[in-house]
Each structure stands twice: as C-alpha cells, then as structure tokens.
Chain A
Amino acid sequence: MAVAVEHPLDKYVRTEKLPTLWCPGCTIGIVMTSLLRAIDQRIREGLLRRDQITFVGGIGCSARIAMYVRFDSVRTAHGRTIPLATAIKILRPEHKVIVVGGDGDICAIGGNHLLHALRRNMDLMIIIVNNMIYGMTGGQVSPTTPLKLYTTTTPYGNPEKPLNIIRLACSLGANFVARGSATHPHILQQIFYKALGKRGLALIEVLSSCPEIFGRHIGITDPVKSFMTLRDKIKVKNNPSLDESEYDWEKGFVIGVYLDKDDPGYIDNLSLLYKSLRGF
C-alpha cells in the first residue's frame, strides 16, 4: 500500500530544494524545523498571517534557512542582513521580519549593525545560529570561538575571550533575549513561539553543533557524538539570571529566556513621530 509521503511541514518548505546542502548531522536543520513549527502554531492560532512573514539571510550555512522556507525571503551581502531587514520593516510595518544568520555573519561582519539595531530596539526577530566557528569558509576563528580552541587561523589555541551575545543584547535594550540549543528542539520551539509575538527586538542565540568543521578541530567528527557532546553541556533553567549566561565551553551553557520586557519598539516611536508631524 502506497503511503502519501508528505511531511507535516512540507507546506512551509521549498521541497524541490531538498535534501538540503547542509552536511549530514548539521543541526541547522533542527533550528529551521523548530522555527517552522513555531510559525505553524502561530498561524493555526490566527495570530500571524502567512503572507506577512519575511525572511532575511546573509551568507553562510545558517543563512541558507532563508532559501529553504516557502515564505518571502531575501539573501543579501555578507553581514548586511540587519540594514536590509530594517528597511523592509520600515516600509512594511505589518510584516514579521525574521533575520537568520550565523555567528560570523551577524556578530563579526555585521556586528556594528547588530549594535545599532539593539540600540533602536528595532522590531526584528534575529536568530543567531552559533556553531562557534566560520564553518562554510573552512574553520577560521570567529568572535564566539571558545578560549584555547584550535582552529585553522589559531593553530596554537585561541587566545581571545569569546563574545557573550546575551550580555551584549541585554545591555543595549533589546525586548526579548534568549538562548536556545538545537539539541533541545521542544524548548527552542517555545522560545521561537514567544519571540514571534513580541514587539521590539527579539534576539535568540541558538547553539548548534558542526560535526564537519568545528568537530574536526575538537576531535569529534561523528555527527551523533558531536550532537551528544553539545547536549551534555546544556543546562536548562526557567528564568536564568544574567550572571548565568556565562559563555564557556568547559563549564557548559545555560539555556532559557534571559530578558522579556515590553518597551515600545522603533516602529511605534516612528509612527508617533509621523502622527505628530501630520497632526492627526
């Protein structure tokens, strides 16, 4: 008996592009499916319209999420996702603009844009898929590479302290800051679901494993071992404090929602300004 082969999420995915380009065992696919499940939940509850979602991606493995989803999507130059997303949001304020990118794309090359989006509390949802290395270009050191780790460009161990994205986002006034992990897809889906309903900037750092490039440098190339190594380092907490957001490969990572407030975003301020100028 032939069974109709259709995944429940096939309606949101460009199935003609499957299988994806990602390496076997790459957890970016889990981030994508968790995000699609959260969007599906929002759409089924009538809180979000399918034609009002826009994806913006840059360059990198994780930015390819924008290519595989069946929504409006743009891919732009390396690191310039946030300026483009800002423009889209100002022109189409009713759209939910979702920025996807890796740690190198958003924190290193687009780091300055991230600072100013956080400062403005721009109404975007920024997903940083953090695999702790530049994966697509061959394993160079990135701002989030843990201390003392061997990479292609640090053959004697990384001497730089890594960037803690959570602390950065909390200090600059984002509305929603959370850390998730691709090894815990249920929690990730809940975080995405919450973030989709927020106004102002929602920043989600998603830890992901990279068995091919990051795994080669730490000596774990097996996809399952790489997945389980990351899963063992994750601690789940309900309302973690900011001090627990410490980013350390040896001590492990605490995932959860670090900041959740409801300040007016940039679009609210902009519409108030327009109203005062027009006089109605």
Chain B
Amino acid sequence: MEKRSLQISMARARHKIVVISERCKECGICITVCPVKILDKSSLRNSRGFRYPVASDENRCIGCRLCEYSCPDLAIYIL
C-alpha cells in the first residue's frame, strides 16, 4: 500500500522546481509570471538577506518554464 502511494506521488510531481537561493535578488518576477501561482516568497533569507522563492505545491507545476525564462539572475530552473 505504501509503495503504491509513493508511486502515485512520484507520477504526479512531473516537474521539479530548483531554486539556486544564493543567486536570488528578490525581484519577484518569477512569482508574478507563474500562470498557476504556486511560487511564493520564502520566510528564509539567503546570505545577502533576500527572500528567495519557494514552491507551495510542486505537484501543480505545469512546466511552462516562464519563471526560468523570466529570471534575470539564473536562479530558478525546471528539471
């Protein structure tokens, strides 16, 4: 049973959002351009004091890569 639920969750999370937190400058463009609005500012800060984005629900990512294309600082990409 446990194995089956794991398989389902793996099948649903098709896209992985990777944030390179040290490069982020908290401009918020990725949060705005996301069509399903799953990105949000983290409560944590990087070493420069910027709140980098985190995905609230990665399963809802549709993989459009608008955040990756619109990031000026090469800080976010979709696997």
On whether the beta carbons of A30 and B77 are closer than 8 Å, the reply is no
On whether the beta carbons of A30 and B25 are closer than 8 Å, the reply is no
The reply to whether the CB of A54 lies closer than 8 angstroms to some CB of chain B is no
The reply to whether the CB of A158 lies closer than 8 angstroms to some CB of chain B is no
A228 to chain B, nearest CB (A): 7
On whether the beta carbons of A29 and B71 are closer than 8 Å, the reply is yes
Interface residues of B in 1-42 (CB under 8 A from A): 18, 20, 22-29, 31-32
B9 to chain A, nearest CB (A): 15
The reply to whether the CB of A13 lies closer than 8 angstroms to some CB of chain B is yes
The reply to whether the CB of B72 lies closer than 8 angstroms to some CB of chain A is yes
Give complex CA distance A13, B69 in Å. Answer: 15
Interface centre among B22, B48, B73, B74 (most CB of A within 10 A): B74
A182 to chain B, nearest CB (A): 8
Give complex CA distance A138, B72 in Å. Answer: 22
The reply to whether the CB of B56 lies closer than 8 angstroms to some CB of chain A is no
Task: Give per-residue flags for A258-274: 1 if the beta carbon is below 8 A from chain B beta carbons, else 0.
Answer: 00000000000000000
* Range class of the A interface residue count: 20 to 34
On whether the beta carbons of A185 and B70 are closer than 8 Å, the reply is yes
The reply to whether the CB of A33 lies closer than 8 angstroms to some CB of chain B is yes
The chain A residue sitting closest to B24, CB to CB, is A19
B-chain residues with CB within 8 Å of residue A19 when the two chains form the complex: 22-25, 48, 73, 75
Give complex CA distance A10, B73 in Å. Answer: 11
The chain B residue sitting closest to A23, CB to CB, is B25
Give complex CA distance A88, B4 in Å. Answer: 62
The reply to whether the CB of A71 lies closer than 8 angstroms to some CB of chain B is no
The chain A residue sitting closest to B29, CB to CB, is A227
B69 to chain A, nearest CB (A): 4
Q: Among B18, B27, B73, which residue has its beta carbon within 8 angstroms of that of A3?
A: B18
Give complex CA distance A10, B27 in Å. Answer: 21
The reply to whether the CB of A28 lies closer than 8 angstroms to some CB of chain B is yes
The reply to whether the CB of A223 lies closer than 8 angstroms to some CB of chain B is yes
The reply to whether the CB of A5 lies closer than 8 angstroms to some CB of chain B is yes
Interface residues of A in 5-46 (CB under 8 A from B): 5, 7-10, 13, 18-20, 22-30, 32-34, 37
Interface residues of A in 176-191 (CB under 8 A from B): 185-186, 189
Task: Give per-residue flags for B40-79: 1 if the beta carbon is below 8 A from chain A beta carbons, else 0.
Answer: 0000000010100000000000000000011111110100
Q: Among B27, B28, B69, which residue has its beta carbon within 8 angstroms of that of A34?
A: B69
B-chain residues with CB within 8 Å of residue A168 when the two chains form the complex: none
A104 to chain B, nearest CB (A): 20
The chain B residue sitting closest to A32, CB to CB, is B72
Known: A7-B20, A33-B69. A25 touches B74 (CB 8 A): no
Give complex CA distance A9, B77 in Å. Answer: 10
A-chain residues with CB within 8 Å of residue B70 when the two chains form the complex: 30, 185
Task: Give per-residue flags for A203-230: 1 if the beta carbon is below 8 A from chain B beta carbons, else 0.
Answer: 0000000000000000000011001100
The chain A residue sitting closest to B18, CB to CB, is A3
Known: A18-B23, A34-B69, A186-B69. A224 touches B28 (CB 8 A): yes
Q: Which residues of B contact A (CB under 8 A)?
A: 18, 20, 22-29, 31-32, 48, 50, 69-75, 77
Top-5 shortest CB links A-B: A29-B72, A25-B27, A24-B25, A185-B69, A223-B27
